[in-house]
């Protein structure tokens, strides 16, 4: 935890881990030590757009090249026109926007194999760079969070990602970028069908999108438990944080070293204040942001 400044957030985390692993009040059985963290904006940078959005956009722009009539439909229209409002709606789980985006994603990878998706995601990630920081996107990982994950692992916690983003994209980079093996990545995902010795992607979303109530639902399905500790940064994380014993909410308040924004996290911060969640200020609590 050497990248954390002394203060209330660091103290609360160290205190939680100390109690969780010591006999007495707050002790957590080793089997129950499940830690879950949101991905974009919690473990790495999500501005100006989550990295995976750019991957999906590139595929959907290809689809428009093949089928120009799509250009007048959503989400293709919003991508071409760089219509930020549409994607804010997606973030806020507007049913029409979510359904249009899911439909386009299903169309782009209809019936494809995991190998095809993985090699496309891999190629994209190799070239993905942040303009703002002039670095590969996969390096824009929050160093203090990596130290927190390591602290948790050392104390017997199994660390999972739980993201509304696409599970299979994250699984391509989670081990290298975060040290989280792919079987510990929970997220929104298509159902695959096994036919003639091979997996084929269907157009169904397996168990619903892993946002809001979908987060604790997916976490229980994957682990058989609700989290002992959870971390997030937006309204889509509220139910996951509610379901946890110890809650961390990241505040993006450092315009100089990262970004300043609260859009889509207003309810989460109100809940954090009401319920005493541990708010982590990037500006004040982190000595460094990136490794």
Contacting positions for a copy of itself (CB under 8 A): 31, 34, 114, 158, 167-168, 171, 175, 181-183, 185, 189, 191-195, 197, 199, 206-207, 213-217, 220-226, 239, 242-243
Residues 6+ apart with CB under 8 A from 16: 26, 229, 246
DSSP state of 2: T
Q: Which two tokens stand for residue 65?
A: 């090249």
Residue whose CB is less far from a copy of itself, 35 or 45? 35
Cβ proximity to a copy of itself: between 36 and 278 the closer is 36
What are the Cα distances from residue 63, in Å, to 35, 59, 66, 79, 108? Answer: 38, 6, 5, 12, 7
> Measured from the CB of residue 225, what is the shortest distance to a copy of itself in angstroms?
7
Minimum distance of a copy of itself from residue 194's CB (angstroms) = 4
Of the pair 134, 197, the CB lying nearest a copy of itself is at: 197
Using the minimum distance from each CB to a copy of itself, give the nearer residue, 136 or 207.
Answer: 207
**Pairwise CA distance, residues 207 & 200, whole Å:** 17
Half-sphere exposure of 236 (CA within 13 A, CB side): 26
Least CB distance to a copy of itself at residue 46 (A): 22
Cβ closer to a copy of itself: 118 or 253? 118
31 versus 48: smaller Cβ distance to a copy of itself: 31
CA distance 178 to 121: 17
CB of 214 to a copy of itself, least distance (A): 8
The dihedrals phi and psi of 24, each to the nearest 5 degrees, come to 120, -165
Query: Residue-wise over 17-52: b if at least 16 C-beta within 10 A, else e?
Result: beebbeeeeeebeeebbbbbbbbbbbbbbbeeebbb
Where residue 147 falls (left for φ over 0; alpha for ψ -120 to 50; beta otherwise) is: alpha
CB of 211 to a copy of itself, least distance (A): 12
Q: Minimum distance from CB of 220 to a copy of itself (Å)?
A: 6
């Amino acid at each position: 935890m050497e990248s954390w400044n002394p203060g209330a957030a660091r103290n609360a985390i160290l205190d939680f881990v100390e109690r969780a692993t010591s006999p007495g009040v707050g002790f957590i059985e080793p089997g129950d030590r499940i830690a879950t963290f949101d991905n974009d904006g919690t473990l790495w940078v999500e501005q100006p757009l989550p990295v995976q959005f750019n991957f999906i956009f590139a595929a959907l722009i290809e689809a428009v090249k093949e089928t120009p009539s799509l250009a007048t439909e959503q989400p293709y229209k919003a991508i071409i026109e760089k219509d930020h409002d549409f994607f804010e709606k997606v973030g806020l789980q507007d049913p029409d926007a979510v359904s249009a985006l899911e439909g386009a994603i299903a169309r782009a990878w209809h019936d494809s194999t995991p190998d095809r998706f993985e090699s496309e995601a891999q190629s994209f990630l190799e070239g993905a760079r942040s303009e703002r920081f002039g670095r590969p996107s996969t390096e824009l990982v929050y160093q203090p969070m990596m130290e927190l994950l390591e602290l948790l692992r050392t104390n017997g916690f199994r660390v999972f990602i739980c993201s509304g983003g696409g599970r299979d994209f994250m699984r391509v980079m989670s081990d290298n970028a975060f040290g989280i093996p792919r079987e510990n990545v929970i997220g929104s995902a298509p159902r695959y069908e096994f036919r003639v010795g091979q997996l084929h992607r269907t157009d169904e979303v397996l168990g619903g999108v892993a946002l809001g109530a979908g987060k604790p639902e997916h976490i229980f399905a994957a682990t058989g438990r609700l989290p002992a500790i959870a971390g997030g940064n937006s309204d889509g994380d509220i139910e996951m944080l509610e379901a946890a014993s110890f809650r961390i909410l990241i505040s993006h308040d450092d315009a100089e070293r990262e970004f300043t924004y609260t859009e889509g996290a207003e309810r989460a911060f109100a809940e954090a204040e009401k319920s005493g969640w541990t708010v982590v200020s990037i500006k004040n609590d982190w000595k460094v942001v990136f490794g």
